[in-house]
Structure 1
Amino acid sequence: MNEILKKPVQYLKGVGPKRAGILKKINILTVGDLLYHFPREYQDRSNICPAQGLEHGRVATVMGRVLYARELKPRRGLTIIKLALDDGQGVFFAVWFNQKYVIKQYPPGTMLLVTGKVDKSYRGEIQLQVIDCEVTGESHQALHGGGIVPIYPLTEGISQKYIRSVMQYALQETASLRDFIPEHLLVKYRLPGLKKAISSIHRPENENDIRQARRRFIFEELFLLQLALAKQRKKIKRQQKSHRYPEGNGRLVEAFLKQLPFKLTADQIKVWNEIRGDMESSYPMNRLLQGDVGSGKTVVSALVLVKAVEAGLQGALMAPTEILAEQHYLGLSRWLKPLGINTALLTGSIKKSRREKLLAEIERGEVQVLIGTHALIQDMVSFKQLGAVVVDEQHRFGVKQRLALQAKGNLPDVLVMTATPIPRTLALTVYGDLDISVIYHLPPGRRPVRTYHVTHRAINDVYRLIRREVKNGKQAYIVCPLVEESEMLDVQAAVDLADRLSGTVFRDLNVGLLHGRMKAGEKEAVMIEFRDGNIDILVSTTVIEVGVDVPNATVMVIIDAHRFGLAQLHQLRGRVGRGRSQSYCILVADPKTEEGRQRMAAMVNSGDGFVLAEEDLRLRGPGEFFGVKQSGLPEFKIASIIRDRRAMECAREEAAVLIEKDPELQRPEHQLLAQELYHRFGKNEKLLNIG
């Protein structure tokens, strides 16, 4: 590897142990870390102005010779140091506050390049309140002025002046740097080499230097990530699974399709063919299935499980909450039981006696399809032959949990699903090790949900709409606001609202309550009552966000909707509009921020989850959109998956081509690349087997 990049920063000139400890706070441990500590912005200080013509309030750079120093003490605790300088056209004053050392540091006769804010308010003097200052004979030799000057992210104890100085020492040690990006890619995309890019980003001569260096490092960052993911994908594809499936739709799959009360949509058929092709191959499937709320992902997941059972294997479906797991169990049982498929539910709240019996049945292979929560990945759960795994609402799980379920079988086929539409660039980043299938269109007959944004002053009109729908035999949800990141407080808000509504506005109607702290049996009893129509209005926390399917519910009211992200609002809206009647989503909110107002407008104007996902990503950024810790999303230094979409696509394509030719990066021309890849991703939990 380029040895200079691994050199501890402590041994760089101007650093030492103490300052190395401070630099560690901003993750600078090596010279490489320092060189990859990129400026957050630049200031053009190339225009050296005579002091006489400067405007009050602007920031300017002036060069002059020190004439004398003046020390003022206008009040206790404040010392003002003023150096009089001659720029050849007149005298101006450089001003510092509480920095007496500058008198000795810059004695008369010293040539200084000063950058500061112009102040003409004191007795007609031209003063510069100093931002940067350095001794220099020629402006083009200066580090802190006289050209385009980098401004870096800092921490306490480190100044811009200091980091520019040590960066200069680091740049002097880059002469032997060798590039790890293949030469043909640098030529193809007209990117500068590593040495040139590092020099240009820290000491640019012009704006084009900055632009080209940034292009290089954006591509480098995305290319290395996509290379790591492509390497992982290739590794998975080389592992042959022990189980096999008969080709085509077998007798059991055909029987399943025949009993459905609807025909698969064109999107569902296309996706099923992709999945079936994966399952019938010699290598394990690792596929992400995306689809908007109500697009019919569940029926596709059922086909995966049925195909596994038909091959004499077991299938498992893992969901993030007990409510969703129970919902899947009830729905899939209705489809699978008539086919003679034994389906079971395993959650944390199942009684011990039932659990022990169930675990034995799973181990003997008597349970053919197991549905559950995180309980599925506990040590005591042992399958006879697990062939297919479905992970629902994948973004609610960590990477380790998905891998733990896969480890229950011998390279099982894995389908991960999400009803949170993910913009393509984000999917390629987070799920780059998976193949991706998308169901774009909803089944025919679904009427768009009419969405309205109202303020709290219109709440009585909202209640009248609910009453009208209930009078017509329909049902409604009212979702309580997110009080804060506290389930206890959110539950209390739901309890209070349900009590108030059942005692006042809706005292003649049946008001139910659902929240995450209720026991599983209580939650199931409430959902059965609601599904059976015995509850008119269900007051709930966000536990109903995914998986709850009551076609008779036509009204979704979300209180303080501005507290929710767009993806969550769209999920909640997806709980209605599941039947053939017109449905409504009412966002009750008084947003105080522009972002909040934009979210409300986006919800009113679009029912397309993919459009909303793009907007959510734009408004909130990838970390907020998709929980960085859960998703394994890397933190980029310079690239942006929102801005740099095209670069991401190019990086993915090039990585795929390179790994196809040299899967282990063993060719001599790829050795530096392999070392850099391990350096960046070798310990990343998302890419466990990268080395």
Structure 2
Amino acid sequence: MAQSTSIQYLKGIGPKRAKSFAAHGVCTIEDLLYYFPRRYEDRTNFADISELKEGQFYTIKAQVRSSRSHSSWRRRSFSITEALLTDPTGDISCVWFNQPYLNQYLKTGSSLILYGKVQLYNARLQMDNPEFEFVGGEDDDSLNIGRIVPVYTLPQGFSQRSLRQVVKNAMDEFLPKINDCLPFDLRTRNNLLNLAQSLLNIHFPQSMDLQKQAHSRLSFEEFLVFQLPLVLRKRKRKEKKGIQHTVDGRLTGDFISALPFKLTSAQEKVIGEIKADMSSPMAMQRLLQGDVGSGKTVVATLASLIAVQGGYQSAFMAPTEILARQHYDKISSQLSGLVFSGRKVRVALLTGQDKEKQKICREIKDGKIDLVIGTHALLNEELSFSKLGFVVIDEQHKFGVGQRALLPKKGNNPDVLIMTATPIPRTLAITLYGDLDISVLNQLPPGRLPVKTL
């Protein structure tokens, strides 16, 4: 059998149990090998009941002294199962809620391994809803006793013991045949285990140190797989020619001079990074991150004017009509006094509800609009640009990946600036998958109060 074989053909599975695994995303033998434990129990050294302390999680091995199930005196339909567990050092009470069937299994004298948090109730220690596992006559079982034991999220119809055995059977058969995608020299340079050792120690670790090494190696492989497409996209982008803008001009200088405030050092630094990109023959793909009020819009406006002064059009896309109108009002006001080639900079607003939508689209197509600010309406297939050279996408996390790619396609590989005030966690994913350089505005303008996120 190959690793791509359906799990139902593995010993102890079959079609019915395969459906239970499928509900957890495990369909093939390879999926099973990568179905990792959610935690571990160190069964080489159980905690003594006499040493338990309130508020801590423990794994104990004990025998049932007595058990009973009864209804809550407040809610008759709510059942409570109680068991008194004992080991040579003392006793502890364990309680399970709304599981009356447990009383059938908690027979006096039966041995259990329990894991849970110790609480104080009525001046005595107890475990509420602890996870437990029965210990039968096979106490010397090498998978379940006397070692660090994996604890899995259980598919329906499985116990921890039976699932461990299924995983062990699969590993015994397939680990000797497994191919490692990481070359030997790469593993050596980064002090990584091979794949077979990693899978063995992530499921049945010989020590927690080896488990951490296995986790590190598997994480390394996962991030490497994430990064490879990024490297290939970067190479491809370098091979594809973009627009080489002239970044210094009278229009951008007049814009900065007309601002009623002085740019922060962070804004000046980011503008320098953007100018370096836009003066390059390769297309810019840059993420601009900064808190609300840090001055991202001013930076984006200046970058848009770099394209405009070179004879190109700029497009500024916002996720909502309200935000688009706010940008339009603010930017129009800032540009109202500027003269370019004997005329004013022509700014337009395009939204889905605009009554003059058709007229604005014609003017954009004819090159009569220098900077268009709009919503998803900019993605309309009927809209075309005369000479699109720069694209700004605000609040990028509110657009889908496909949507973000549509607007730049309306130009000949234009420069793209993506803005966000919430870089984590979604922007981290975009950084991994989207081939973006990063600029950060980490300084607020003078007099601006810090943003508090509640």
Shorter chain as denominator, the TM-score bin is 0.7 to 0.9
Structure 1 residue ranges (4+ consecutive) displaced by more than 6 angstroms after TM superposition: 53-58, 72-75
| Partner Cα separation in structure 2 for residue 388 and residue 47 of structure 1 | 64
- Offset at residue 164 of structure 1 (A): 0.9
Number of equivalent positions: 394
Secondary structure at the aligned position of 2:133 is classed as: strand
| Partner Cα separation in structure 2 for residue 411 and residue 74 of structure 1 | 71
| Partner Cα separation in structure 1 for residue 399 and residue 69 of structure 2 | 62
- Offset at residue 274 of structure 1 (A): 0.9
Alignment of 1:346-495 (within 5 A): 346-351=350-355, 354-420=356-422, 422=423, 427-432=427-432, 433-444=435-446, 446-448=447-449
Contact 2:193 2:217 in 1 (8 A): yes
Q: Which residue of 1 aligns with 2:244?
A: 244
Per-residue CA distance 1:323-375 (angstroms, 9 max, x = gap): 11111111111233433211100112212xx1111111111111121101111
Q: Which residue of 2 aligns with 1:159?
A: 159
- Offset at residue 157 of structure 1 (A): 3.0
| Partner Cα separation in structure 2 for residue 48 and residue 74 of structure 1 | 27
Contact 1:115 1:145 in 2 (8 A): no
- Offset at residue 156 of structure 1 (A): 3.0
- Report the AA paired with residue 415 of structure 2: D
Per-residue CA distance 1:128-154 (angstroms, 9 max, x = gap): x97133554x82x53222321100122
- Offset at residue 187 of structure 1 (A): 2.3
The partner residue of 1:13 within 11, 15, 35 is: 11
- Report the AA paired with residue 361 of structure 1: E
Q: Which residue of 2 aligns with 1:202?
A: 203
Q: Which residue of 1 aligns with 2:123?
A: none
- Offset at residue 96 of structure 1 (A): 7.7
Q: Which residue of 2 aligns with 1:666?
A: none
| Partner Cα separation in structure 2 for residue 325 and residue 368 of structure 1 | 16
Secondary structure at the aligned position of 1:232 is classed as: helix
| Partner Cα separation in structure 2 for residue 56 and residue 427 of structure 1 | 47
Q: Which residue of 2 aligns with 1:258?
A: 257
- Offset at residue 28 of structure 1 (A): 0.7
- Structure 1 residues 342, 149: CA separation in 2 closer, same or farther (over 3 Å shift)? same
- Report the AA paired with residue 10 of structure 2: L
Determine if the alignment matches structure 1 residue 217 to structure 2 residue 221: no
Secondary structure at the aligned position of 2:31 is classed as: helix
Q: Which residue of 1 aligns with 2:113?
A: 116
Determine if the alignment matches structure 1 residue 341 to structure 2 residue 373: no
- Report the AA paired with residue 27 of structure 1: G
- Offset at residue 208 of structure 1 (A): 1.8
- Structure 1 residues 405, 447: CA separation in 2 closer, same or farther (over 3 Å shift)? closer
Per-residue CA distance 1:611-636 (angstroms, 9 max, x = gap): xxxxxxxxxxxxxxxxxxxxxxxxxx
Q: Comparing both structures, which one devotes a greater share of its residues to strand?
A: 2
Q: Percent identity?
A: 41
- Offset at residue 427 of structure 1 (A): 4.4
Secondary structure at the aligned position of 1:384 is classed as: coil
- Report the AA paired with residue 20 of structure 2: I
5+ unaligned residues in a row in structure 1: which ranges?
64-71, 76-94, 103-112, 119-128, 450-566, 571-598, 600-691
Q: Which residue of 1 aligns with 2:323?
A: 324
- Structure 1 residues 48, 359: CA separation in 2 closer, same or farther (over 3 Å shift)? closer
| Partner Cα separation in structure 1 for residue 292 and residue 277 of structure 2 | 25
- Offset at residue 214 of structure 1 (A): 1.7
- Report the AA paired with residue 356 of structure 1: Q
Q: Which residue of 1 aligns with 2:78?
A: none
5+ unaligned residues in a row in structure 2: which ranges?
53-57, 71-100, 116-130
Q: Which residue of 2 aligns with 1:664?
A: none
| Partner Cα separation in structure 2 for residue 218 and residue 39 of structure 1 | 15
| Partner Cα separation in structure 2 for residue 316 and residue 365 of structure 1 | 12
Per-residue CA distance 1:41-79 (angstroms, 9 max, x = gap): 111223489xxx97699864589xxxxxxxx9999xxxx
Contact 1:114 1:130 in 2 (8 A): no
Secondary structure at the aligned position of 2:176 is classed as: coil
- Structure 1 residues 369, 155: CA separation in 2 closer, same or farther (over 3 Å shift)? same
Q: Which residue of 2 aligns with 1:144?
A: 144
Per-residue CA distance 1:524-579 (angstroms, 9 max, x = gap): xxxxxxxxxxxxxxxxxxxxxxxxxxxxxxxxxxxxxxxxxxx8x54xxxxxxxxx
Determine if the alignment matches structure 1 residue 313 to structure 2 residue 312: yes
- Structure 1 residues 56, 311: CA separation in 2 closer, same or farther (over 3 Å shift)? closer
Contact 2:41 2:150 in 1 (8 A): yes
TM-score by length of 1: 0.52
Q: Which residue of 2 aligns with 1:40?
A: 38
Secondary structure at the aligned position of 2:177 is classed as: coil
Contact 1:388 1:412 in 2 (8 A): yes
Alignment of 1:535-684 (within 5 A): 570=453
- Structure 1 residues 130, 406: CA separation in 2 closer, same or farther (over 3 Å shift)? closer
| Partner Cα separation in structure 1 for residue 68 and residue 263 of structure 2 | 84
| Partner Cα separation in structure 1 for residue 416 and residue 298 of structure 2 | 16
Q: Which residue of 2 aligns with 1:534?
A: none
Q: Comparing both structures, which one devotes a greater share of its residues to helix?
A: 1
| Partner Cα separation in structure 1 for residue 113 and residue 254 of structure 2 | 80
| Partner Cα separation in structure 1 for residue 49 and residue 263 of structure 2 | 73
Per-residue CA distance 1:164-197 (angstroms, 9 max, x = gap): 1210121111102222124334223322111001
| Partner Cα separation in structure 2 for residue 7 and residue 276 of structure 1 | 54
| Partner Cα separation in structure 2 for residue 228 and residue 316 of structure 1 | 28
Determine if the alignment matches structure 1 residue 174 to structure 2 residue 171: no
| Partner Cα separation in structure 2 for residue 308 and residue 135 of structure 1 | 79
Per-residue CA distance 1:15-58 (angstroms, 9 max, x = gap): 22221111011111122211111111111223489xxx976998
Q: Which residue of 1 aligns with 2:273?
A: 274
| Partner Cα separation in structure 2 for residue 59 and residue 331 of structure 1 | 62
- Report the AA paired with residue 165 of structure 2: S
| Partner Cα separation in structure 2 for residue 356 and residue 47 of structure 1 | 76
Secondary structure at the aligned position of 2:144 is classed as: coil
| Partner Cα separation in structure 1 for residue 239 and residue 176 of structure 2 | 40
| Partner Cα separation in structure 2 for residue 252 and residue 390 of structure 1 | 19
Q: Which residue of 1 aligns with 2:98?
A: none
RMSD: 3.4
| Partner Cα separation in structure 2 for residue 32 and residue 377 of structure 1 | 41
Secondary structure at the aligned position of 2:238 is classed as: helix
| Partner Cα separation in structure 2 for residue 211 and residue 223 of structure 1 | 18
| Partner Cα separation in structure 1 for residue 37 and residue 183 of structure 2 | 26
Contact 2:133 2:160 in 1 (8 A): no
Per-residue CA distance 1:432-478 (angstroms, 9 max, x = gap): 3200011221223x1536xxxxxxxxxxxxxxxxxxxxxxxxxxxxx
TM-score by length of 2: 0.77
| Partner Cα separation in structure 2 for residue 54 and residue 363 of structure 1 | 79
Contact 2:241 2:282 in 1 (8 A): yes
Secondary structure at the aligned position of 2:226 is classed as: helix
- Structure 1 residues 16, 61: CA separation in 2 closer, same or farther (over 3 Å shift)? same
